[in-house]
Structure 1
Amino acid sequence: MNNASNRTIDPSCEDEPPLAMDIIVNLDIFNIALYSILTFMAAVSLLVFIEECIYIYRKVPPNKKSVIIWVNGAAPVIGTMSCLGMWIPRATMFTDMTSACYFAIVVFKFLILMLEEVGGDEVFLKRGGKHKLKISTGPCCCCCLCLPHVSITRHSLLLLKLGSFQFALLKVVLTILSIVLWTNGNFDLADMKITGSAIWINPFVGILTIIALWPVAILFMHLKTTLRTLKIVPKYAMYQLVLILSQLQTAIINILAQAGTIACTPPFSAKARGYMMSQQLLILEMFIITLVTRLLYRRQYDPLPKEELDNNENTKMIALHESV
């Protein structure tokens, strides 16, 4: 007798993710403690963000309030959405889409934040008149060292802004389109067939993401020396970490789940369990990042000192000397 033919598969391994009430009913002591701790972390992250918003509105100049709040909110919003997805597994697609849309806006806002830290567009153009932008940076052109350096003009600054803004706009549009297609049964993240809509939308979103990250990296490489006293390097590191954890980590876990690497554990199917693991990790990670970003952004926002040039021609902005 073939044992494989007699092997039974738990029906829940083939079902949709369980309902919230099914999770609550099946919680054991360990999971009660785990869910309680993670929910507490998500709640604390949200409260810390609210307190930080109050501080920003009281202490920060008006031109910086909005962008700092947007950037600070990345980790708490993702953590809160992950908590909702943990308790309501069938809403995971929507919570992930909400987090992705928010972070798409944060990408653009972080670019604006760096400009505002310098003093705004006019001050940036004035300070950068004798400098050039190095565009051979990641994630697009880090290997293309032959690319020419670009002068800092209103036109080049506009292109940098548009490069990041397109992601914030198109990500929201594509998310709405995905939800509309899902209601009609035409969008499924697990459907990798050439006729499925997910196989076309998701790679396109990936291309838009890479294009949007490029202008931010260009501006960061140009301003990291100027803004080093404002802790721009750890701020940029936190921004990159949120990107990697919320996008790359989640994608890897979901791929492993769909490939069957992650085992089914009733009442969760393998795919639903992968989503659950992803949500739980994000809550913990975003909680830590929320606390770190609070320390980085909670400071006095004094005007940046004027650019000075010493005898060794060391400048606070990256100057590229043209060859004669």
Structure 2
Amino acid sequence: MDDLNSTVHPSCLQEPPLAIEVINRLDLFGIVLYSIFTFMSSVCFLLYLEECVYVYRKVPPPKKTTIMWVNGSAPVIATMSCLGMWIPRATMFTDMTSNSYFAVVIYKFLTLMLQELGGDEMFLRRNKNNKFRISTGPCCCCCPCLPFVPVTRRLLFWLKVGSLQYAILKTALSVFSIVLWTNGNFDLSDLEITGAAIWINPFIGVLTITSLWPVAIVFMNTRNTLRSLKIIPKYAMYQLVLVLSQLQAAIISILSLDGTIACSPPFSSSARGSMLSQQLMIIEMFIITLVTRLLYRRTYDPLPMDITENDNAHNTHISLTASPAQEDTV
């Protein structure tokens, strides 16, 4: 074991380097690369600010607040990834900030679909005679035997609670993890049964799956109604941000802990894996920001009423106009 450790560069066993160490070791290619990534994250943030101004002026409340939250997921992740790239020792803080923000976005996307349908009352009115299929991902996609559930106020309440719990608990657990880290009890690379990370991270995974299920239920049962509002590509972008920010980052972290991603002084294997993940994330979030800008930067007209509702309104109008004529005839 001593012979093995003697062949390993000392920096591969140390903490991530300081920001000044990263800057001092950059060659011409590194300076150009870091400049490009910083430019991309800055463009994401500026485009988001411009879109917030547009949405604030053109979209009525409370929908404009929800759109700002949902549309900010990619720029926030890109900005946090850029900070983590320049300051490697802040990676845990930037990642937790991004994940906590996206936890709120999951709930906000559910709220956005309800607001596109006219709000809670209109949603219940449109679907009062319908039943929702709940055998959807990520929880019950392989359980087609589950019964269809009638749309009631109680169902809407539990759908909201299912998404909101992740936004609250994820933020609370992130703060708790930082507190444990300052005391030396939380380390992502510590996979021992006595470590805090091995207990907190799987619990967060369960909360994530639980929060995604209500969003999938509402989307799968209302996508045809909201098709004219481009809800399908919006949902695809939301899912893409989820996969890239959660699954991709987890895979790279596992590869770095396994040693597949080699150490490159002054970066250890885990620090280099985090750096590669952040650089990939900046590129991906830059592209997603451009796409979501085309989807959300538009005028928002109210969704037309259903055909049955139009028929009922038309029949009511005919009966009201016919009544005076009948009285005159009598």
TM-score normalized by structure 2?
A: 0.92
C-alpha distance in structure 1 between counterparts of 2:95 and 2:118, whole Å:
35
Question: Residue deviations 1:218-260, cap 9 Å, x none?
Answer: 0000110001010000000000000000000000001000000
C-alpha distance in structure 2 between counterparts of 1:196 and 1:9, whole Å:
25
Query: What residue number does 1:179 align with?
Result: 178
Query: What residue number does 1:26 align with?
Result: 25
Query: What residue number does 2:314 align with?
Result: none
State the identity as a percent: 68
The structure with the greater share of residues assigned to helix is 2
C-alpha distance in structure 2 between counterparts of 1:197 and 1:59, whole Å:
47
1:15 corresponds to which letter in structure 2? Answer: Q
C-alpha distance in structure 2 between counterparts of 1:6 and 1:83, whole Å:
33
Query: What residue number does 1:58 align with?
Result: 57
Aligned residues: 307
1:105-120 to 2 correspondence within 5 Å?
105-120=104-119
Query: What residue number does 1:220 align with?
Result: 219
Query: What residue number does 1:239 align with?
Result: 238
Query: What residue number does 2:276 align with?
Result: 277
Query: What residue number does 1:196 align with?
Result: 195
Q: What SS is found at the alignment partner of 1:146?
A: coil
C-alpha distance in structure 1 between counterparts of 2:295 and 2:222, whole Å:
17
Alpha-carbon shift at residue 308 of structure 1 (Å):
1.2
C-alpha distance in structure 1 between counterparts of 2:208 and 2:5, whole Å:
47
C-alpha distance in structure 2 between counterparts of 1:271 and 1:160, whole Å:
38
Unaligned segments of structure 2, at least 5 residues: 310-330
1:6-45 to 2 correspondence within 5 Å?
8-45=7-44
Query: What residue number does 1:87 align with?
Result: 86
Query: What residue number does 1:267 align with?
Result: 266
Query: What residue number does 1:307 align with?
Result: 306
C-alpha distance in structure 1 between counterparts of 2:300 and 2:183, whole Å:
50
C-alpha distance in structure 2 between counterparts of 1:10 and 1:32, whole Å:
24
Alpha-carbon shift at residue 7 of structure 1 (Å):
5.9
2:297 corresponds to which letter in structure 1? Answer: R
Alpha-carbon shift at residue 63 of structure 1 (Å):
1.9
1:175 corresponds to which letter in structure 2? Answer: S
1:115-134 to 2 correspondence within 5 Å?
115-134=114-133
Taking a change above 3 Å as real, the CA distance of residues 131 and 32 of structure 1, as seen in their structure-2 partners, is same
Alpha-carbon shift at residue 29 of structure 1 (Å):
1.1
Q: Which is greater in Rg?
A: 2
Query: What residue number does 1:322 align with?
Result: none
Q: What SS is found at the alignment partner of 2:298?
A: coil
Unaligned segments of structure 1, at least 5 residues: 311-324
C-alpha distance in structure 1 between counterparts of 2:4 and 2:211, whole Å:
51
C-alpha distance in structure 2 between counterparts of 1:296 and 1:50, whole Å:
16
1:32 corresponds to which letter in structure 2? Answer: I
Alpha-carbon shift at residue 9 of structure 1 (Å):
1.7
Root mean square deviation of aligned Cα: 1.2
Question: Residue deviations 1:183-241, cap 9 Å, x none?
Answer: 11111111111111100000000000000000000000011000101000000000000
Alpha-carbon shift at residue 300 of structure 1 (Å):
1.2
Alpha-carbon shift at residue 8 of structure 1 (Å):
2.2
Question: Residue deviations 1:142-168, cap 9 Å, x none?
Answer: 011111111101000000000000000
Query: What residue number does 1:161 align with?
Result: 160
C-alpha distance in structure 2 between counterparts of 1:188 and 1:99, whole Å:
18
C-alpha distance in structure 2 between counterparts of 1:114 and 1:271, whole Å:
39
C-alpha distance in structure 2 between counterparts of 1:92 and 1:5, whole Å:
29
